[in-house]
Amino acid sequence: MLTFLMKRFGVMLLTILCLTFIVFWLTNLAPNLERLAKTQANNRMTDEQVVSWLDARGYNRNIFIKYGEWMGLVPGWTNEINGVQAGRCIRAGETEGPKFCGVLQGDFGFSTVSQEPVSDVISRRLSLTGWLMMCTFLLMVPMALIVGIAAGMREGSRLDRGLSTFSITTTATPEYVSGVIFIAIFTSSAVGLKWFKGTATSAADEITFANFTLPVVTIALYGMGYIARMTRASMAEVMQSQYIRTARLKGVSFKGVVLKHALRNALIAPFTVIMLQFPFLLTGVVIVESLFNYKGFGWTLVQAAGNNDVELLLGCSIIAVIVVLLTQLISDIGYVFLNPRVRVT
Amino acid sequence: MKQLDWTGAIGTVLDPILIIAGSVLLLAFIAQMISSFIWMPSAEVIGAPTKRNPTDNILLVGKIALYVVIGVVLAYIIGGNLVATESKGIVERIFTQFRPVWLAMLLILALSFLFKSKLGLYGKILDNKLGLIGLCVVMFWVLTAILATGLCIGEYCTMPIVQYDELQQISGMKNKKPGWAVTGEEGQYYLLGGDVLARDVFSRVIVGSRTVLSIAPAATLFAFMVGITLGLPAGYFTGKLDTTLTFIANLVLAFPVILLFYLLVTKDIVKTGIPMYLAAVLFLFPLIFLTILLTSKFRTRPGEMALYLGISLTLGFWVYLGLTFNYDPLGLNIFSMDPNTLNIFVSVVFVNAPTVYRIVRGLVFDIKTRDYVAAAQTRGENPWYIMLWEILPNARGPLIVDFCLRIGYTTILLGTLGFFGLGISSESPDWGMTINEGRKLLSVFLHPAITPAIALMSLVLGLNFLADGLREESLRD
């Protein structure tokens, strides 16, 4: 078990390293840097001015050195700009800073748009998204499991067909479609049912039923169908197994078979699927947060990408990648614990 | 008449029927699911025939309601085409615009049913209720995309479905409601209203189907080529090759899709040439696939091999150069893509390929233990022959199903790209883009956002139904 964990952890670290480097490289491409220089300094700079601006701030160097700086393995650059001592690790207004400042030192850099440290921005936004995710999971997982198990316990029955059609429909409706339809029906003055609010901006201060229902339902519905279909498949397979037949022939009631014998075995596969839903949910979160103007992590990601806020974008992507990889790790370990037939060694 | 009603003369009879039958259908659908907990439908009870129970009655009512609804919809389609223009409402006029599509669908379905027994898996789909619905919806959108602005054979052209050019702005039509009469033109209406720039919503949605349906299937096909070409050897040889490729695939899969799009699909990135290099690599895979396919088959017959390989590679490289580098040695420029479309195309292929790779790899792991593979190995067949001509054909069932699902998923991805305004020019009638534009005024004007939203949903739903039907039918034998 320990070697398995070590190995998985090693692969995970390697993946994080590769992915952050790719993001770093893509955000540091020449056109992006040019745009950054123009938004930061002056929109009408000539090409030479752009080059000298970037040179002075250490942008025009080898990508590996810059990446090392960002990681905190290479000492940060220092330079004199307009007679003022400046450097990667020196905050505006100060003259000195630490030698290394990178992710390893816990410094995620400085957001050029919101003018505050990236770690502050992300931690604040992440807690907002945390609420959204939690509510979504509390709604999505139980519903998906109930639908999946009800559909899978009698494969091919009327109930199965009805519920399967429902889950197919939800998987075919992406968030930007269902969200728009929900907003149109439940919030617009054109239809007149003003049950909920069309924006969730106020939910950042206080979560209410009116402002948080639609975002949560929108994400949950799209993610639900997939989990429900996987649960259905797993349940249908379990219901055909030998031990279920034995239980039935022994005279256990159908209810007893489903609840006592089938349910636990059928829930092993969906566990993995639920954990692997995180990367998909992330896209959903970005869409829904932009649609409902909820200023969480996804909204920040869109803003950072739109404004080419390089360090904020890097911070967001490292968080996203770590979340995805951690859930994959948890799903693997959890699978081993839940399913006694799987041995890792 | 300034504004059209939703339904015209025939609506006075059909509307009440549709509403009643529709609500009965919905109620019966929910009721049957609940009541089947208590009383099993007698058709599903195995063994001695049981007495009729309430579930059977609900099923019967639901079935009748379903047929009534289908009948009314058909009556709208047929009646809407036949009644006089003045007595038509919005629905009848829309159905009239789609006349070429109805006729083409009727022809294709009639031919399909006629030759059902000879059509293999496609023929079987016609027996599956859900699959047939999916097929009809997909066929509807494909034909709409083809016939959108009219198709000409020689001098004979079909009637165009669109009424206006997708970019044409008519003054006074800004944000007008569905069925609003066009200013200055007698008897012309914006059937589904005007958008914020006074363009016809209906025509834009119709033309928008072209963007989706030209990119999504092709991108999915390329993703499959990449996934199959890499997944087959990885699953068959395993070892270091498998470890490396799987690591790379997991790398791409761990990348949040939306982040990748934000980094890769921007106007600036086109300047760096990265999409082109990515295309140069990804588009090479179909050629590699084709070469291996032919060389492994005709290994013992060099003459035929040279012929087939020569023809297909010449054509392949011609298309490859045109698509990737926009370079055509013959100067015809038939195969070319503008840089932004190429960028979107490549990104979508790039995102989809690792998933296909994993599916193919898993299938190969399963199939290579079969007896016929062992037999081929004992015969001393080339490993590539076994992979492409023994394993791949036997993996086709799950792959076809996944292909359908994946086109739907790609459609959603393209919509996401449009929704965030990435890569596509801001005037394009692309559905995702239109939804994004329309949502800004959603609390007051519904139609500009709802129309493309429903179009996108129906297409994806159709593809998913089709995939589900295919899955059921391919599992049956």
Tell me, yes or no, whether A62 and A154 share the same domain. no
- Percent of chain A scoring above 90 in pLDDT: 8
Tell me, yes or no, whether A158 and A63 share the same domain. no
* pLDDT for position A210: 79
Domain total in chain A: 2
Assess whether pLDDT exceeds 70 at residue A127.
Answer: yes
Cα three-residue angle A21-B422-A71, rounded to 5 degrees: 15
Determine which of A7, A159, A218 to mutate to test the interface with B (most B C-beta atoms within 10 Å).
Answer: A159
Tell me, yes or no, whether A73 and A178 share the same domain. no
* pLDDT for position B376: 92
* pLDDT for position A50: 82
Tell me, yes or no, whether A271 and A285 share the same domain. yes
Task: Say if A290 falls within a structural domain.
Answer: yes
Which chain A residue has its CA at the smallest distance from B439's CA?
A180
Beta bridge partners, B180, equal B3, B190
* pLDDT for position A161: 84
Helix A310-338, helix B239-254: angle, nearest 10:
120
Assess whether pLDDT exceeds 80 at residue A101.
Answer: no
Tell me, yes or no, whether A333 and A290 share the same domain. yes
**B272·A29 Cβ contact <8 A:** yes
The verdict on B453 touching A (C-beta cutoff 8 Å) is: yes
The verdict on A330 touching B (C-beta cutoff 8 Å) is: no
**B36·A165 Cβ contact <8 A:** no
Tell me, yes or no, whether A178 and A243 share the same domain. yes
Q: Which residues contact B359 (CB under 8 A, 6 or more apart)?
A: B227, B231, B398, B399, B402
Q: Walk along chain B (477 residues) in steps of 10 and give the mean pLDDT of each run.
A: 72 84 89 77 65 80 88 84 78 83 90 86 84 92 88 79 77 76 75 79 88 90 94 91 90 84 82 86 91 88 88 88 79 75 90 92 89 92 90 88 91 90 77 85 81 92 91 77
Among A67, A86, A118, identify where a domain stops: A118
Cα three-residue angle A209-A213-A215, rounded to 5 degrees: 140
Closest alpha carbon to A61 in A46, A74, A72: A74
User: H/E element holding B94?
Assistant: helix B90-97
Task: Say if A344 falls within a structural domain.
Answer: no
Task: Say if A12 falls within a structural domain.
Answer: yes
Tell me, yes or no, whether A317 and A168 share the same domain. yes
Task: Say if A180 falls within a structural domain.
Answer: yes
Task: Say if A220 falls within a structural domain.
Answer: yes
The verdict on A169 touching B (C-beta cutoff 8 Å) is: yes
* pLDDT for position B357: 93
Rounded to whole angstroms, the Cα distance separating A172 from B456 reads 9
Closest alpha carbon to B235 in B356, B355, B354, B362: B362
Chain A hits for B138, Cβ within 8 Å: none
Closest alpha carbon to A274 in A218, A334, A340, A318: A334
**A183·B442 Cβ contact <8 A:** yes
CATH of the domain at A253: 1.10.3720.10
Chain A hits for B257, Cβ within 8 Å: 279, 283
Residue A16's pLDDT band, with cuts at 50, 70 and 90, is: confident
Tell me, yes or no, whether A233 and A98 share the same domain. no
- Cβ contact B94:B191 at 8 Å: yes
Among A118, A136, A161, identify where a domain stops: A118
Tell me, yes or no, whether A199 and A318 share the same domain. yes
* pLDDT for position B227: 94
Closest alpha carbon to B463 in B215, B208, B145, B137: B137
Assess whether pLDDT exceeds 70 at residue A51.
Answer: yes
Rounded to whole angstroms, the Cα distance separating B230 from B352 reads 13
* pLDDT for position B241: 92
Tell me, yes or no, whether A44 and A89 share the same domain. yes
Residues 95..134 of A with a Cβ closer than 8 Å to B: which?
none
Tell me, yes or no, whether A88 and A160 share the same domain. no
ipTM of the complex model: 0.86
Among A118, A133, A164, identify where a domain stops: A118
Task: Say if A343 falls within a structural domain.
Answer: no
* pLDDT for position B111: 92
Chain A hits for B419, Cβ within 8 Å: 176, 287
Range of A272's domain?
122-338
Chain A hits for B463, Cβ within 8 Å: 172
Task: Say if A232 falls within a structural domain.
Answer: yes
Rounded to whole angstroms, the Cα distance separating B450 from B448 reads 6
- In this complex, which of B40, B272, B412 lies closest to A31 when CB atoms are compared? B272
- DSSP collapsed to 3 states, chain A: CHHHHHHHHHHHHHHHHHHHHHHHHHHCCHHHHHHHHHHHCCCCCCHHHHHHHHHHCCCCCCHHHHHHHHHCCCCCCEEEECCEEEECCECCCCCCCCCCCCHHHCCCCEECCCCEEHHHHHHHHHHHHHHHHHHHHHHHHHHHHHHHHHHHCCCCCHHHHHHHHHHHHHHCCCHHHHHHHHHHHHCCCCCCCCCCCCCCHHHHCCCCHHHHHHHHHHHHHHHHHHHHHHHHHHHHHHHCCHHHHHHHHHCCCHHHHHHHHHHHHHCHHHHHHHHHHHHHHHHHHHHHHHHCCCCCHHHHHHHHHHHCCHHHHHHHHHHHHHHHHHHHHHHHHHHHHHCCCCCCC
pTM: 0.88
| Strongest mean pLDDT among A210-214, A221-225, A276-280 | A221-225
DSSP B228: H
Task: Say if A345 falls within a structural domain.
Answer: no
Tell me, yes or no, whether A156 and A272 share the same domain. yes
